[in-house]
């Protein structure tokens, strides 16, 4: 069993110790350590790092008060993550302008929208690769010039009940035994905002597992982590890869490919904050009662 018996994921049938290799031409993990690299885009008020997976783009931004960000013809829903309590923004959509406080997650509708910072700080936006203008800005764009064969194609989930609009949720959600993290989903993304791990993770309670056909993106917002990755052996020895034990500080992202076995250990002595990102949403998490906190707002598609 890949999980400790008390881990809520222990009952998930779709997660395995060893993944089934659809092709042994699988990709390597991708690591973006933003603290080590220059921003991919800089203005007098902003610094932004872009990093991508097969289906998604992570935009991590540090900005000052008054900075504005707009999307004129956004093709689908995108995500705004405000991890800090002190953050505050105004979000404008075709329905008007709303003030959004920090420590929240927002799903912005397709079409025209804008974000203006009322307090300086950091924030994260998540886009699908349908936002073609952002794809070329990604530091690891070349890694995906050829599609990775083990990753399923991007397919949007149903639109929210009542149609597309700005949907915002506070991350101030009490810990609940049996629920895995704090999970929200929209038509394009699923985001699991974990509770702080204070100090290093217990090394006797790791969770090595794999995914058959989707990437996991792990975003570090505070602390230090080590991503442990093991690649299955296919029939072609030339494609074998060595195990990885990759240190990632703050801020950073790791894109963990199928069918690699992976697990992540917090190693910082203080607060360690990790966010897992999936594009599109996961059926197995969505089928667990109570796990997706906004499930009433975003229906599931029919499972194929």
Q: Is the pLDDT of residue 78 over 50?
A: yes
The half-sphere exposure of 212 on its side-chain side, counting CA atoms within 13 A, is 9
Q: Is the pLDDT of residue 20 over 50?
A: no
**Helix or strand or coil: residue 268?**
coil
Q: Is the pLDDT of residue 34 over 60?
A: yes
- 248-281 pLDDT, tens digit per residue, is 999 999 999 999 999 999 999 999 999 999 999 9
Q: With contact defined as beta carbons under 8 Å apart, do 200 and 266 qualify?
A: yes
What integer pLDDT is reported at residue 17 of this predicted model? 37
Q: Is the pLDDT of residue 16 over 50?
A: no
Q: Which residues contact 16 (CB under 8 A, 6 or more apart)?
A: 2, 209, 210, 212
CA 291 to chain centre: 16
Look over the chain and give the mean of its residue pLDDT values, rounded to a whole number.
93
CA 234 to chain centre: 28
The predicted model gives 117-145 an average pLDDT of 97
- Integer angstrom CA distances of residue 159 from 46, 164, 185, 299: 32, 6, 11, 8
Domains of the chain: 8-286 (2.60.120.10)
DSSP state of 284: H
- Edge to edge, the sheet with strand 225-230 lists 244-248, 225-230, 261-266
What integer pLDDT is reported at residue 236 of this predicted model? 87
Q: Is the pLDDT of residue 15 over 70?
A: no
- pLDDT-derived band of residue 166, with 50, 70 and 90 as boundaries? very high
Q: Is the pLDDT of residue 150 over 60?
A: yes
Between these two residues, 5 and 224, which has the higher pLDDT value? 224
What integer pLDDT is reported at residue 11 of this predicted model? 65
Phi/psi-derived region of residue 223, left when phi > 0, alpha when psi is between -120 and 50, beta in every other case: left
């Amino acid at each position: 069993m890949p999980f400790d018996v008390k881990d809520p994921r222990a009952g998930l049938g779709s997660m395995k110790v060893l993944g089934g290799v659809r092709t042994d031409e699988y990709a390597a993990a991708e690591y973006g350590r933003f603290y080590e690299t220059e921003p991919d885009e800089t203005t007098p008020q902003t610094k932004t790092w872009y990093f991508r997976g097969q289906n998604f783009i992570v935009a991590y931004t540090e900005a000052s008060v008054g900075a504005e960000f707009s999307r004129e013809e956004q093709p689908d829903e995108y995500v705004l993550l405000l991890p800090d309590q002190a953050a505050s923004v105004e979000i404008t959509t075709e329905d008007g302008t709303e003030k959004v406080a920090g420590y929240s997650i927002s799903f912005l509708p397709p079409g025209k929208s804008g974000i203006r910072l009322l307090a300086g700080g950091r924030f994260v936006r998540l886009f699908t690769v349908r936002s073609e203008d952002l794809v070329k800005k990604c530091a690891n764009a070349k890694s995906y010039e050829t599609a990775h064969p083990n990753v399923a194609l991007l397919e949007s989930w149903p639109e929210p009940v009542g149609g597309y609009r700005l949907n915002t949720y506070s991350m101030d959600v009490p810990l609940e035994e049996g629920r895995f993290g704090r999970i929200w989903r929209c038509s394009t993304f699923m985001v699991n905002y974990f509770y702080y791990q204070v100090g290093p993770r217990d090394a006797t309670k790791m969770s090595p597992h794999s995914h058959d056909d989707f990437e996991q993106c792990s975003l570090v917002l505070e602390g230090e982590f080590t991503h442990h990755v093991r690649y299955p052996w296919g029939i072609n020895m030339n494609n074998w890869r060595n195990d990885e034990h990759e240190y990632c500080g703050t801020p950073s992202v790791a894109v963990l490919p199928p069918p690699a076995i992976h697990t992540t250990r917090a190693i910082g002595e203080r607060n360690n904050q990790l966010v897992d990102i999936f594009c599109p949403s996961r059926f197995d998490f969505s089928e667990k009662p109570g796990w997706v906190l906004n499930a009433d707002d975003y229906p599931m598609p029919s499972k194929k």
